[in-house]
Chain A
Amino acid sequence: MDVRFKVGADAISLDETGLKFDINDFDAWAVEAALQLREKNAGSEVTAISLGPDVVQETIRKALSMGADRGVQLKADKVPFDGLAIATALAAELKTGGYDLILFGKMSPDSSNGVVGPMTAELLALPCVTAISSLAIEGGKGTAKRELEGAQEIVEFQLPAVLTVDEGLNTARYPSLKGIMAAKKKPLDVKPAQLPTPQVTVRKLELPPERKAGRIIGEGATAVPELIRLLQSEAKVL
C-alpha cells in the first residue's frame, strides 16, 4: 500500500525497479461487469484488450484467469500519457470487433487522467456513459447510475455503447485456480499499437512535497484556543 515512487534519472519517467504490475481496481470491475453480462447472455464472448509493453500481458492474463475468453495486446514500447493517442489506437482495434458493449475502468491510476474511455467512444461515434456505479441491460437498452458530487444521475443509453466503471458497480471475482490453469491456454493476440504523435508530452516528474511533519500544539483543553487560531489563520478551514 505504501508504494514509494521514484523518478528515474531522465526526470520524465518513473523508476520501475521493484514495482509490481497488476490490473487496477477499475479495470477489474470492468472485467467483472463484462463476465456477469456474458453469464446472462449465452453465446456472448468477452475480449480483454490492453495497450502497452509486454508487462501488460500479465494484466490480460489476469482478465483471462477471471474468465475472459481471449486477449489482445496492442504492443507499444511505452504507454503515452496522451489519452487521445491511446484512444486512437484502441478505436482502430475496436471498430471492427462488432462489440455490443465496450467497458473501461474509469481511469488508470498511473496517468490518473480518466479520458481514454469517453475519447474512444467519440472516435467510434458510440453512446457513452462514464463512471457508472450500477448497470442493467435489457433489450438493446441500458440503465446506469452515476455518482455526482452529492447527487446521482440515472442514465438511459442505447447499445452498442461505451461505459466506464466506477467503484460500487460490483466486487471483482478472484481468479480461481482452475481459471489460472485455463488462462494459459486462451488466445492472446499481439498486434502493434497504431499510436499517432502525442499532443501531450511529459516535461518533468517530481514527488509532491512531503506532508510537513505534524506538530503537537499543546496538551489538554488549554491548547484549544491555539488550535482554533491555527485552523482560522494558517489552515484557513474555519
Chain B
Amino acid sequence: MANVFAFVESRGSELRKVGLEAVTAARTLADDSGGGEVHAMVLGPTGIAGKAQQIAQYGADVMLVVEHADLANYSPEVATATAAERIKAGGYRGAIFSTSAQGRDLAPRVAARLGVSVVTDVLSFEVDGEAIIVRHPINIGKVIATLAISGKPAVIAMRPNVISPAQNAKAGRVENVPPAIDPKSARVIVKETKQGTSGKLDLAEAPVVIAGGRGLKVAENFKLVEELAAAFGNAAVGATRAVTDDGWRPHSDQIGQTGRLVSPELYIAVGISGAVQHLAGMRTSKTIVAINKDKDAPIFKIADYGLVGDVFEIIPALTAAVREAKKHH
C-alpha cells in the first residue's frame, strides 16, 4: 500500500489533458503498488478549485488545491516549493509529472529539492519490488532504455499521449494548500503567457499536417492541400523546400532539415518524393500517409499507407471522404 502524488498541469484556469494523464498514471501506479491513494495537486488563480471534481473523475482521492490570485501564470518557484514540501510530508511512493514544457521545468526542480533523481519522457512504468522500472527513449528516440529508479519517491514525468486519461470516479476530498512561498517574492516570474494565434494552427502543434511538394505542379494547386486541411479541421499546411524556394508557400511553411521539425499524429505527404532533407523534418510523425504518382518514390518507404496515383484526382476524393467521416463523428 502506497500513496502516489500527481501534479495536474493547468494553464490559466483550465486543466491540461496531460494533467489528467498524470492522474491516470498515478492511479495505475498506486494500484500496482498494492492500492493506495492518489493525491493530485493543482495550482492556479482564484477559481481553479472549481476544477477539483474533474480531477476526481480520473481517480484522485485527494485534490490538493493551491489557489492564489497571483497564480494565473505558472510560477516555477511557487510550484517547486509547494509540491516539494507536500511530497516530503506525504511519504509518497511516486510523484508523477508530465513531460510538457511546464513538467520538464518543474519535475527536476522538485526532485532535486527532495534529493532524488527523475526520469522524464517516460513511455511506461512498472513496479519491481523496491524499484520502479521505466522505459525512456534515449539518443533522440533511436534507442529505448529500461531504467530502474531506486530513490523514493520515484519522480517520473510521463510522455504525453502514452496514457489516455481514464474515467475512474472517486469521491475525492478537496484539501486547500497555501502556496509555500509568496508568489510575489519569487525570483523568477512569468510576466505573461501569450496564447498562439488562434485560427491558424502552428505546424509544430497541429495534430494533423498536410504537406505538399513539387508533384502539385503549380502554386494554385496548393488550394487542394488547404481544402484537405480544412476538412480535417485540426490540420496545418506544410511544404517541401522545392515548393518554398519556388515561392508557392512562405519559407515558414517548409518542413525539413533546415525548416520546421514536425511530429504530428497524422502526416499526409501530397506529391512529395521524399528527399533526405525533407524526411529529416517529419520522419517521427506517428502515422504517415503518402500520395504520389511515382510508386518508387522514397516517401513510400517510410509511409504507413501509400496511395499511388494522380494527386489531382485523389486529393479531392480524400477531402470529400474526410469531410464525410468528420460529419459522423
Contacts and interface: CB of A to CB of B under 8 A. Distances in A.
Interface stretch (B35-43, B56-64, B237-245, B299-307): B299-307
Interface stretch (A36-44, A65-73, A203-211): A203-211
A174 to B, nearest CB: 16
24 contacts: A81-B147, A82-B117, A113-B120, A118-B112, A119-B108, A120-B112, A153-B74, A153-B190, A155-B190, A198-B117, A206-B143, A206-B144, A214-B302, A214-B304, A216-B306, A218-B307, A219-B307, A219-B308, A220-B307, A220-B308, A221-B309, A228-B318, A235-B304, A238-B326
B275 interface: no
B102 interface: yes
Given A200-B149, A221-B313, 11 more contacts: A118-B112, A129-B188, A130-B105, A153-B74, A157-B188, A208-B142, A214-B290, A221-B317, A224-B314, A235-B266, A235-B305
Main secondary structure of the interface of B (DSSP, over half): mixed
B64 to A, nearest CB: 21
Interface in B185-214: 187-196, 202, 205, 207-208
B189 A227 contact: no
Interface stretch (B22-30, B132-140, B218-226): B132-140
A238 B325 contact: yes
B314 A221 contact: yes
Given A214-B304, A224-B318, A224-B321, A150 B108 contact: no
A148 B106 CA distance: 13
User: Most B CB atoms within 10 A — which of A112, A127, A218, A219?
Assistant: A112
Contacts of B80: 122
Contact of B100 (A111, A143, A149): A149
Given A214-B303, A231-B287, A148 B108 contact: no
Interface string B84-115: 00000000000000001110110111011101
Given A84-B112, A216-B308, A109 B102 contact: no
A51 to B, nearest CB: 16
B228 to A, nearest CB: 11
Contact of B73 (A7, A153, A200): A153
Interface in B259-317: 265-266, 276, 280, 286-290, 295, 300-310, 313-314, 316-317
A212 to B, nearest CB: 8
B146 A202 contact: yes
Interface residues of A, number: 80
A55 interface: no
Contact of B280 (A1, A4, A154): A1
Given A84-B112, A128-B76, A14 B143 contact: yes
Interface in A25-59: none
A130 B304 contact: no
Interface in B157-193: 187-193
Given A14-B143, A214-B301, A149 B190 contact: no
Interface in A121-163: 121-123, 127-131, 143, 146-158, 161
Contacts of B116: 84, 199
B150 interface: yes
A231 B289 contact: yes
Interface in A182-238: 198-208, 211-221, 223-225, 227-228, 230-232, 235, 237-238
Contacts, number: 254
B119 A118 contact: no
Contacts of A237: 207-208, 265-266, 286-287
B117 A85 contact: yes
Contact of B101 (A84, A149, A214): A149
Nearest to A82: B117
B108 A227 contact: no
A10 interface: no
B112 A224 contact: no
B141 A112 contact: yes
A201 B149 CA distance: 7
Contact of A199 (B150, B280, B289): B150
A9 interface: no
B1 interface: no
A5 B142 CA distance: 7
A138 to B, nearest CB: 15
A5 B139 contact: yes
A7 B145 CA distance: 10
A7 B146 CA distance: 13
User: Most A CB atoms within 10 A — which of B80, B100, B147, B310?
Assistant: B147
Contacts of B309: 219-221, 223
Nearest to A106: B104
A87 interface: yes
Given A111-B138, A216-B308, A227-B318, A84 B117 contact: yes
A166 to B, nearest CB: 9
A77 interface: no
B101 A147 contact: yes
A200 B138 CA distance: 14
Contacts of B143: 5, 7, 14, 205-208
